[in-house]
Structure 1
Amino acid sequence: MEQRIIHACGHEQAHDLTGFDSQQARKARWLKTTTCRDCFVAEKRAEEAAAAALSSAAISHLDLPLLTGTDRQISWASTIRTKRLAALTNLNSNADCYACLQVTDAKWWIDHRDLTDVDLMAAATQAADIQSATAARASITDMSRTA
């Protein structure tokens, strides 16, 4: 049954309430104490923006290389990298985070977003080692072609 509820924020919103009359009444009373969907979303976005600003400020001293990937990957990975590096630099020295600074593949950041801090640094070290070995092989190949 659809009911129009005036939320704590003052906005009115339609809700489909199901169940027995007592359950509907209880749900309606609870909904009146909450904010509407639009205000809830706006609050969450503001919280996320504030957290992103704090993370950006925490790593502003780092010289971050540009990420590679598609535009969507780069956008998402930038958010992940900023948040994770801010947490890492608060807990560790910048030298400990050096390997993370070397990873420029946006897909890597997305794929490793759920790792613990220790596992993330280990995976970044491994990725940096692979990246430097690949670069060394490429330069040797280039030198042999020019010779």
Structure 2
Amino acid sequence: MEQRIIHACGHEQAHHLTGFESQQERKAKWLKTTTCRDCFVAEKRAEEVAAATSSSAAVSHLVLPPLTGTDRQISWASTIRIKRLAALTNPNNDADCCACLQVTDAKWWIDYRDLTDADLVAAATKASGIQNVTAVTASITDMPRTA
């Protein structure tokens, strides 16, 4: 049954309530104490913007190399990287960030976004080590050979 509920934010919204009449009444009573969907989404977006601003400020002293990947990967990975680096940043010691700063593959940041801080640093150290070895190997193989 559809009911129009006036939420705590003052907005009216239609809700489809199912179940027994007592369940519908209980749900309607609860919905009146919550914000409407539009206000809820706006509140969450504002929280995300505030968190992103805070994270950006925390890593503003770091030089972030550009990420590589598709536009969508880069956009998503940039958000992840800034958030994770902000969590790792220590004003006295940015050593943990150094390995992470070496990783410029957007896909890597997306794939490893759920790791703990310690595991992320370990994975970044391993990845940056492999990237450095690959870069050194590539530069050696590109050198002209003298016999």
TM range (shorter): over 0.9
> Deviations 1:4-43 (Å, cap 9, x if unpaired)?
1011111111101011111100100100010000000000
Identical positions, percent: 82
1:72 aligned residue? 72
Q: Which has the higher helix share?
A: 1
1:5 aligned residue? 5
Paired with 2:138 and 2:104, the residues of 1 have a C-alpha distance of 18
Cα 1:92–1:26 change in 2 (3 A) is farther
TM-score by length of 1: 0.96
1:21 aligned residue? 21
Count of residue pairs the alignment pairs up: 147
Q: How far is the alpha carbon of 1:140 from its aligned partner?
A: 1.0
Q: Where do 1:48-59 residues align within 5 Å?
A: 48-59=48-59
Cα 1:24–1:136 change in 2 (3 A) is same
Give structure 1 stretches of 5+ with no counterpart: none
Give the partner amino acid of 2:16. D
Give the partner amino acid of 1:100. C
Cα 1:4–1:91 change in 2 (3 A) is farther
Q: How far is the alpha carbon of 1:90 from its aligned partner?
A: 3.8
Q: How far is the alpha carbon of 1:68 from its aligned partner?
A: 0.4
Q: Where do 1:73-88 residues align within 5 Å?
A: 73-88=73-88
- Counterpart check, 1:97 vs 2:132: no
Paired with 1:5 and 1:119, the residues of 2 have a C-alpha distance of 47
TM-score by length of 2: 0.96
2:138 aligned residue? 138
> Deviations 1:81-134 (Å, cap 9, x if unpaired)?
000000001498212220001000000000000000000000000000000111
Paired with 2:36 and 2:63, the residues of 1 have a C-alpha distance of 41
Give structure 2 stretches of 5+ with no counterpart: none
